[in-house]
Amino acid sequence: MKQHISRLPGAYLLAALGMGLFLHGCGAPEESGEPGLDVSVTEPVERDFDAIREDGAIRMITRYSSNTYFLHQGIEWGFEYEFVKRFADEHDLALEVVIIGEEENPYDLLNSGEGDLIAGNYTKTAERRAVVDFTRPYNLVNQLVIYSGAVEDPPQTVRELALSDIPVTIRSNSSYYHHIRDLQDEGIDLSVDLVPNDFDTESLLFDVSQNKYQATVADDNIFQASVKYMEGLAQGPTITEHDTIAWAIRKNAPRLKEELNAYLEDHFQFRGEDREPKRSLFLDILRERYFDDSEPLADYYSPTPELENEGIISPYDDLIQSVADSAGLDWLMVASIVAQETRFNPQSKSWAGAVGLMQILPRYSQVEDSTLLYDEEVNLREGVRILKEHLDHYSYMDSTNQWAFSLAAYNAGQGHLGDARRLAIDQNKNPNKWENVSDALLKLMHRTYYRNARHGFCRGIETVRYVREIRNRYKIYKNVIAMNEQNRQQSLPSIMGIFNLP
């Protein structure tokens, strides 16, 4: 195989396609004949499905991209995110997202227990199987050569490509690399440029569209999604057909594998003698949304977005920051609450009568004219005032517990939270520790416990999930802000949200 190792300059690469593409900084890999997965964690932790259920959350490891997970108007989207979220919801679990960071290895994150599954459009390879297990498949893909539009008369077969001087730029830890090696065994010696493993397929596609590289390889579904908002890409020959896509899990998690496989079987099966794939309606909708007919996805991303009047997290970034700062609160936490409450919809009204961005109940508001609560600034100031009262109430706690209790009180009210704390005391547990009170909140869903509570039944699972999801989203918001600041300092394009969906 004609193989080259690309040695990149120290500057980081970035493609800001809306909120979706991070082509981040990387050093050059070591030259070797057999680049591998470079794992450092060889023994997986003990954390199977029973432990996940007891914890109340399943953690998805993924990359930040348009086909896996991204933020739009501060809300989580992405094919993998929505598909895993459905599984989590069916099992009354919160979904925590672990974004693979710079210089982080997804297999190490999995086996160390930072996450429970890798959901990133992964094909099964022998090298990956050596360190992780896989679920049953949930998709079939073809792997395609993708050319820069600047390449004149691009080869239309892999044999023609092998005879050309066009190098194919890929990662050494990708399944594409292994399939190209299979072609070498067949006597088709493609020229290959290897880039560091912290690139992803979408970032390489963007570089090819900008003519930084002449060609790369991508799964057909990723290409179909990317070409909607990237210009300058041309489809070439197929490297391999009908590769199966699955989620990666720890080898010592048979119960999790069983549960995930049962879920996936409901949504994807091979039927008939021809083994044609049959998908559920839900999976078909996701495929249409993100891949097959992804014109709407182009509205989430733009290579040249307009900066004016747009925020990094939401359309209300400046207003949220101003109101939060005036109360001495972290504006990203307030933004995460707004995302949880109303998905940044100022006209939202709940069945209980709570209105506006932060779902204020008029009877608890200090605003005399309740119609003013639909005003974004008025509503935010009321929500922040109430939140600040909760924070002041728990000011004797450390910051982590103070925020957890305050978020729980904002959601369920001080009455139910008081019941949960008294129940924790009855069980000889510290009522000032969130893990103890969150467990008590779950118990208050059962008659044995809530019949003696002052405020009766509490759907504690909703409150526990509310706290968990807000805190997890807050961490993601912080990462997005940090990435944006890093790119600004390096005079690279900003990472931003696009708010032009109908």
Is residue 383 one of the residues assigned to a domain? yes
CA distance 296 to 289: 7
Instruction: Give the CATH number, domain containing residue 416.
Output: 1.10.530.10
Q: pLDDT digits over 232-247, tens only?
A: 999 999 999 888 999 9
Is residue 379 one of the residues assigned to a domain? yes
Where the chain has pLDDT below 50, the residues are 3-35, 296, 298-309, 492-502
Is residue 477 one of the residues assigned to a domain? no
The pLDDT score that the predictor gives to residue 490 is: 56
Q: pLDDT digits over 245-287, tens only?
A: 999 999 999 999 999 999 999 999 988 777 788 999 999 989 8
The pLDDT score that the predictor gives to residue 45 is: 97
Is residue 388 one of the residues assigned to a domain? yes
Q: Are 196 and 171 in contact (CB under 8 A)?
A: yes
Is residue 204 one of the residues assigned to a domain? no
Q: Are 342 and 359 in contact (CB under 8 A)?
A: yes
Phi, psi (degrees; rounded to nearest 5) at 238: -85, 130
Q: Which of 265, 228, 233 is nearest to 67 (CA)?
A: 228
Is residue 60 one of the residues assigned to a domain? no
Overall residue count recorded for the chain in this entry: 502
DSSP lists the bridge partners of residue 117 as 60
Rg (CA), the chain: 25
Number of domains in the chain: 1
Angle between helices 376-393 and 317-326 in degrees, nearest 10: 40
The pLDDT score that the predictor gives to residue 468 is: 93
Residues spanned by the domain of 374: 317-469
Cβ within 8 Å of residue 197, ≥6 positions away: 29, 35, 38, 171, 172, 173
Is residue 458 one of the residues assigned to a domain? yes
Is residue 474 one of the residues assigned to a domain? no
DSSP collapsed to 3 states, 59-72: EEEECCECCCEEEE
> CA quadruple 255, 258, 261, 265: dihedral positive or negative?
negative
- Residue 363 DSSP symbol: G
The pLDDT score that the predictor gives to residue 311 is: 66
Instruction: Tell me the residue ranges of DSSP E strands in 212-326.
Output: 215-219, 233-249, 268-271, 276-279
pTM of the model: 0.72
